[in-house]
Amino acid sequence: MHSLSWEADEAALATGGRNTGPWVAKGVSIDSRTIGAGELFVALVGERVDGHDYLDDALEAGAAAAMVSSVPTSSKSQLPLLVVSDTRTGLTALGTAGRSRSRAMVIGVTGSVGKTGTKEMLRLVLSEFGFVHASRESYNNAIGVPLTLANLPKDADYAVIEIGMSHSGEIGPLSKMSLPNVGVITNVSAAHIANFKDVDEIAKAKAELFDGIDPDGIAILNRDNDHFRWLNLRAQKTTKRVISFGCDKDADVQLVKYDCSPGENTITVKINDQRIIYTLGADGLHWAHNTLAVLGVVYGIGKNPDHAMYRLANFQGVHGRGIRYLINPGNGVIELIDDSYNANPTSMTAALKLLGELQPRTGGRKIAVLGDMLELGHSADSMHANLLEDVIAANVDLTFTVGSHMLNLHSSLSPLQRGGHAHHADALISSVISVLGPGDVVLVKGSHGINMGCIVSALLTASGKKEAFYV
């Protein structure tokens, strides 16, 4: 059992708060619905929800204590309390203290695409060398990062911290809190472009990762990206070493060959004239490219890649980010690609490319169910319309679209390619299920705010949970 505990006095010292009684917590949670027994519940105050209203629920779930900004007068007072001036600030302070007391090597991961997948690969690969703590799901913002650090076991060997942003100035403070020994930037592209003047500004925002990096640390950068030269110069100002990855012949970690076959993809990489060969369970060149960043980390920290990269053969992807199922929603076995968690032009192109590479079973078709890509600003309509080239290149037989921006793609499709269009994802569920037939391959993708996940959930439910299994 790895050591994660917060004692009342230690937490009070970290947050500047006061305790109403003694307590010891074995973890930190912000959700009364999922809190584990013996954890500290942090009652965050949001625009729509006040965590203080759920103190009774936390108590019933077995919470050890609660961090609050006001002392309740009801029976909730049975729960030991850590009283702070502001619970969000208190959580940040607890995360900072969690990082300070940790011995772990911290790997910070950011990028326009590939953050979560790369983080999960690092969790898998680095476990060959020691105990790894990593961000849950996509806990990568001003709440998720301190929560991850507050839950960092004292004796963890590695911590993989995903750091995201939608505006400039967000990554810097999180980097200074995380103090990464290794900083990974997977890619820079037009994600969240509505909040920036141009992609150059996005690159500058991603480079804030180096604000808190160890001066003796390592930066891992994508040499294939248009912003590599600038990012390389920026990284060299704050850290000791830069390792590049990509297909570029000058990359330190160079992709030499990618052999794609469903469920087992062979990747050949060259590092310092040494060839390393490993397999990857997830399909698609974009997944293979992310493994290069992982290999760069392993190589950079002085570990033998041959002793760890074999673990990627068991990597199936991430829920909502390209994981694949074989299911039967009632009209025959189909293959479902669940990429419903997020979308931007780069990731949408990659997903459609993967769909194009897959071969449906006999009689099957390629079907795309695509939702709006959000936060693209004034270029949103044209970026959605431009997806027509990717759809055609992938030989998609039928395309369903969701959202006002995707209407631009829908209008560009030939009548035979149009599966249907709706303003809301749930309105398409019955239409999608009704057209499916044996052997079809179905891609579901869109930004999180469009709720394309409801279509995935409906397909899995119609199949029965016992029938769903990973490809």
At 262 the pLDDT is 65
- What is the H or E stretch that residue 223 is in? none
**Average pLDDT score, the chain:** 92
Of 440, 441, 443, 442, nearest to 363 by C-alpha is 440
At 74 the pLDDT is 67
The secondary structure of 414-434 as a DSSP string is: -GGGEEEEESSGGGGHHHHHH
CB 174 within 8 A of CB 139: no
Residues 6+ apart with CB under 8 A from 211: 171, 172, 175, 176, 238
Residue ranges of the chain with per-residue pLDDT less than 50: 465-471
At 72 the pLDDT is 83
Separation of alpha carbons 278 and 265, rounded Å:
8
Mapped onto helix, strand or coil, the DSSP state of residue 71 is: coil
At 466 the pLDDT is 39
Which residues make beta-bridge pairs with 435?
none
- Domains of the chain in sequence order: 6-86 (3.40.1390.10), 102-314 (3.40.1190.10), 323-470 (3.90.190.20)
Question: DSSP E strands: which ranges in 223-286?
Answer: 241-246, 253-259, 265-271, 274-280
Neighbours of 424 (CB within 10 A): 12
Q: Which whole-number Å values give the CA distances from 196 to 96, 142, 170, 234, in the listed order?
A: 29, 19, 13, 19
Phi, psi of 155 (to 5 degrees): -100, 15
At 119 the pLDDT is 96
Separation of alpha carbons 333 and 360, rounded Å:
11
The pTM for the full model equals: 0.84
Say which residue the tokens 């990618």 belong to: 258
CB 441 within 8 A of CB 329: no
